[in-house]
């Protein structure tokens, strides 16, 4: 299905139009979950999350999908093995146009329930053990310093294109063993796939997503063959060994490598963009970080809590489950609203306040929870901490220099463009 023929295009077009019509109808009838996808909430979805919260710990939309904004319930659903990411029979949950596109991609362990999830994650985990990840600190600092050296002295620069994207792309590409010549399109690929997670809205987008997927699969298949013959000290070489030992298939390697690549920089790009946006929108917090750059680690955690890159995820019940006084029937979907859980007033005092000195409360849900907890969380935290500290030390005058451009997605929250300047403001003539 890499090239959509007339019949497939017609079928996809019908699915897209049907989904749009259904969402328009349900949204008009007051389904708050459907309204999350409305572009009017893209700038600030948090008031809508609060409307859902006011309906109780569990909200059921008109489509029959449940959702929770409660931190405790989000955590419970993510940890309960009776909920999965696939149907109980192992078939994909996602249908319609998004499902048709997703089916052209190789599955990763993020798309799997145990035992396949356990097997595949275990093969990738050694690359992200604490000792190895901590060993990347000097390399991350070196990359940050190099990027800041390039942009220092410029009148304005784009925080996303010039800083937030190149840092994690370089780090995760080093870790995976991606040749320099193959890294150029990764930021754009990640942005397109991230926006697709909120749904496929046109035939053109569907074709684009399928093309991106096929390009990445071709890259990883080529690297698999190269590293089988000439292995190195990188993740793809380790996975190629696992393929040779029949611990995973080549298709599973493609899916695992794609997940690590995209998740490895997508989360961090948006952590940096959202975090700097929050800092500059709260000058007193930016001043605190400038005065005490050692707050950078705490700043990273607060940025992840306050405006997380991944806003929500979905689980499906594999059995009838009692939850918060309601019965979730087997086969019913539950939206786990991570960003809303991160602002749950039951566990975070003044949850809508951005406070880089915040202490207490449970761990935020930005990296999910349970068996699908983000495998690269430690690496993302290190990248965020080093970059925020370096900005405070080297660019204390940093401020926004033009309008933002947001990503067209409700699931992955981030910025496409963020013009900033670190120069003194021009003096007004008297």
Residue ranges covered by each domain of the chain: 6-421
Tell which wins on pLDDT, 201 or 210. 210
Fold classification of 6-421 (topology level): Cytochrome p450 (1.10.630)
pLDDT at 426 (0 to 100): 56
- The residue to which tokens 């496929």 are assigned: 200
Reading the block at residue 210, the tokens are 């399928």
Position 10 pLDDT exceeds 80 = no
- The residue to which tokens 């901490």 are assigned: 385
pLDDT (average), residues 207-232:
93
**Among the ranges given (147-156, 202-211, 289-298, 354-363), the one the predictor scored with the smallest mean pLDDT:** 202-211
The pLDDT tens digits of the residues spanning 116-128 come to 999 999 999 998 9
pLDDT at 331 (0 to 100): 95
Provide the residue count of the chain: 430
pLDDT at 82 (0 to 100): 96
User: What pLDDT band is residue 93 in, cutting at 50, 70 and 90?
Assistant: confident
- Asked if residues 175 and 378 have their Cβ atoms less than 8 Å apart, the reply is no
The pLDDT tens digits of the residues spanning 352-400 come to 999 999 998 899 999 999 999 999 999 999 999 999 999 999 999 999 9
Share of the chain above pLDDT 70, in %: 97
- The residue to which tokens 């794609």 are assigned: 258
The continuous run of DSSP H or E covering 404 comes out as: none
For residues 393 and 404, give the distance between their C-alpha atoms in angstroms, rounded to a whole number.
24
**Among the ranges given (12-26, 74-88, 279-293, 305-319), the one the predictor scored with the smallest mean pLDDT:** 12-26
User: What pLDDT band is residue 1 in, cutting at 50, 70 and 90?
Assistant: very low
pLDDT at 197 (0 to 100): 77
- Asked if residues 171 and 264 have their Cβ atoms less than 8 Å apart, the reply is yes
Share of the chain above pLDDT 90, in %: 74
pLDDT at 262 (0 to 100): 83
Average model confidence (pLDDT) for the chain? 92
pLDDT (average), residues 401-416:
92
pTM, two decimals, is 0.92
Identify the three-state secondary structure at position 418: coil
| Phi and psi torsions of 419, nearest 5° | -70, 130
The pLDDT tens digits of the residues spanning 157-203 come to 999 999 999 999 999 999 999 999 888 888 788 878 877 777 788 88
pLDDT at 425 (0 to 100): 65
pLDDT at 423 (0 to 100): 82
Tell which wins on pLDDT, 181 or 345. 345
pLDDT at 68 (0 to 100): 98
Interacting residues of 155 by C-beta distance below 8 A, sequence separation 6+: 421, 423
- Asked if residues 336 and 58 have their Cβ atoms less than 8 Å apart, the reply is no
- Asked if residues 224 and 236 have their Cβ atoms less than 8 Å apart, the reply is yes
């Amino acid at each position: 299905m890499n090239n959509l023929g007339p019949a497939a295009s017609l079928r996809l077009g019908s699915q897209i139009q049907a989904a749009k019509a259904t969402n328009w109808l349900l949204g008009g009838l007051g389904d708050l979950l459907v309204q999350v996808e409305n572009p009017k909430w893209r700038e600030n979805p948090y008031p809508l999350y609060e409307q859902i919260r006011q309906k109780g710990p569990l909200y059921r939309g008109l489509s029959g999908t449940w959702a929770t904004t409660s931190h405790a319930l989000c955590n419970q659903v993510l940890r309960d093995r009776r909920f999965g990411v696939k149907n109980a029979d192992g078939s994909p949950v996602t249908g319609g146009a998004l499902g048709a596109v997703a089916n052209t991609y190789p599955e990763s362990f993020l798309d799997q329930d145990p035992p396949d999830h356990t097997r595949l994650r275990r093969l990738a985990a050694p690359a992200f053990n604490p000792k190895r990840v901590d060993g990347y600190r000097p390399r991350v600092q070196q990359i940050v310093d190099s990027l800041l050296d390039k942009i220092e002295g410029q009148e304005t620069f784009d925080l996303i294109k010039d800083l937030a994207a190149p840092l994690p792309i370089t780090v995760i590409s080093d870790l995976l063993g991606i040749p320099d010549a193959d890294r150029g399109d990764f930021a754009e690929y990640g942005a397109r796939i991230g926006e697709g997670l909120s749904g496929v809205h046109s035939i053109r987008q569907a074709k684009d997503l399928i093309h991106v997927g096929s390009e990445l699969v071709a890259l990883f298949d080529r690297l698999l063959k190269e590293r089988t013959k000439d292995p190195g000290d990188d993740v793809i070489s380790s996975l190629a060994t696992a393929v040779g030992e029949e611990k995973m298939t080549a298709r599973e390697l493609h899916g695992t490598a794609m997940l690590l690549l995209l998740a490895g920089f997508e989360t961090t790009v948006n952590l940096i963009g959202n975090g700097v946006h929050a800092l500059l929108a709260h000058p007193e917090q930016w001043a605190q970080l400038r005065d005490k750059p050692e707050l950078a680690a705490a700043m990273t955690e607060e940025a992840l809590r306050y405006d997380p890159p991944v806003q929500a995820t979905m689980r499906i019940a594999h059995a009838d489950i009692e939850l918060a006084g309601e019965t979730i029937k087997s086969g019913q979907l539950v939206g786990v609203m991570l960003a809303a859980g991160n602002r749950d007033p039951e566990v975070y005092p003044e949850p809508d306040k951005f406070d880089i000195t915040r202490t207490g409360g449970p761990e935020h849900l930005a990296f999910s929870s349970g068996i699908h907890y983000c495998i690269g969380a430690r690496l993302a935290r290190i990248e965020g901490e080093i970059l925020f500290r370096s900005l405070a030390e080297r660019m204390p005058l940093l401020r926004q220099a033009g309008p933002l451009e947001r990503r067209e997605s409700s699931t992955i929250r981030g910025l496409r463009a963020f013009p900033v300047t670190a120069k003194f403001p021009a003096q007004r003539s008297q």
